[in-house]
Amino acid sequence: MTASPPLLSRASPGRRHVLPGLRLTLGYALLYLSVLVLLPLAGLVLRASGLGFAGFWREVSSPRVVAALGVSFGTALVASLINVVLGLLIAWTLTRYWVPARRLIDALIDLPFALPTAVAGITLTTLLAPTGWLGGWLQEQGVRVVYTRTGIVIALIFIGLPFVVRSIQPVLEDLGREQEEAAWSLGASPMQTFWRVIFPELRPALLSGFTLALARTIGEYGSVVFISGNLPFKTEIAPLLIVSKLEQYNYGGAAAVAVVMLLISVALLLIANTVQARMVRRSGTAL
């Protein structure tokens, strides 16, 4: 009987890694992250800091900048909340019911990923304009969409919806029917079963989809610039204001607005990720 070879200790120089070349690949990943993310962001902050605190505050506190930031973040928040409801309904329908042309619908959900945002903006503007197919009928009903914040929200819903659907759909597919059937056997109504059995499992995915949609739509430019009309203090978005400042060679002012958007976006993402981690921890503890 032959003796088994001794196990290599963690400190052994001959220890094999699960991923060969981990140090080399980790170095490449950190270099890639630094060149494409960290260095541009550092340059952005450095450019804005050249204004000084007084100049920075003067740029970001001007009424036009405040109004543009309010339009961007307000419409993105409203569109993301609507996408949570629509995304849940669409994902639920595709996973729990037989739907004709399901593959086609599934492919159309991913259309905003492949479609250039400028094309989406032109298409929505043409469709919802007073001379368009839907815009003419809406105009007769006294509803104006193009060149309003409503149009911006519609464009952002189109852009952010796939993130919510694709976050919820795998969870619904993996969620078994045993817990639902047990709840039904104990006398729970369909609504009670959803809120007390299914919804707790979906909350982390819903928050993840909301976060992804919000992060994507906050800085959206191409699909919004055509349908918004770019009216200062009404429908002007912050990304367009940044482009306008760049065209006026006001690089410091553009960098200052971009830094404010960056700080607010990072804060929102940190809050959402913290809440999501707590939800996952609580669900794991409950199990």
Task: Look up the CATH number of the domain holding residue 221.
Answer: 1.10.3720.10
Mark the ranges of the chain whose per-residue pLDDT is less than 70. Answer: 1-22, 176, 283-287
Residue 245 belongs to some domain of the structure: yes
What's the chain's average pLDDT? 83
Residue 187 belongs to some domain of the structure: yes
Residue 108 belongs to some domain of the structure: yes
Q: How far apart are CA 142 and CA 284, in angstroms?
A: 51
Residue 18 belongs to some domain of the structure: no
Nearest 5 degrees, angle CA 156-CA 109-CA 205?
Answer: 80
Q: Buried b / exposed e across 245-261, counting CB within 10 Å, b at 16+?
A: beeeeeebbbbbbbbbb
Range of the domain at 277: 55-286
Residue 191 corresponds to which tokens in the numbers above?
Answer: 């609504």
Q: How many domains in the chain?
A: 1
Q: How far apart are CA 44 and CA 259, in angstroms?
A: 7
Residue 48 belongs to some domain of the structure: no
- CB pairs under 8 A, 24+ apart, for 169-178? 169/91, 169/94, 169/95, 170/205, 171/201, 171/202, 171/205, 172/91, 172/92, 172/95, 172/96, 172/202, 173/95, 175/201
Residue 142 belongs to some domain of the structure: yes
Q: How far apart are CA 43 and CA 40, in angstroms?
A: 5
DSSP H/E element including 6? none
pLDDT in tens, 92-112: 888 888 878 888 888 888 888
Residue 198 belongs to some domain of the structure: yes
pLDDT in tens, 158-177: 999 999 999 999 888 887 67
Residue 11 belongs to some domain of the structure: no
| Residue count of the chain | 287
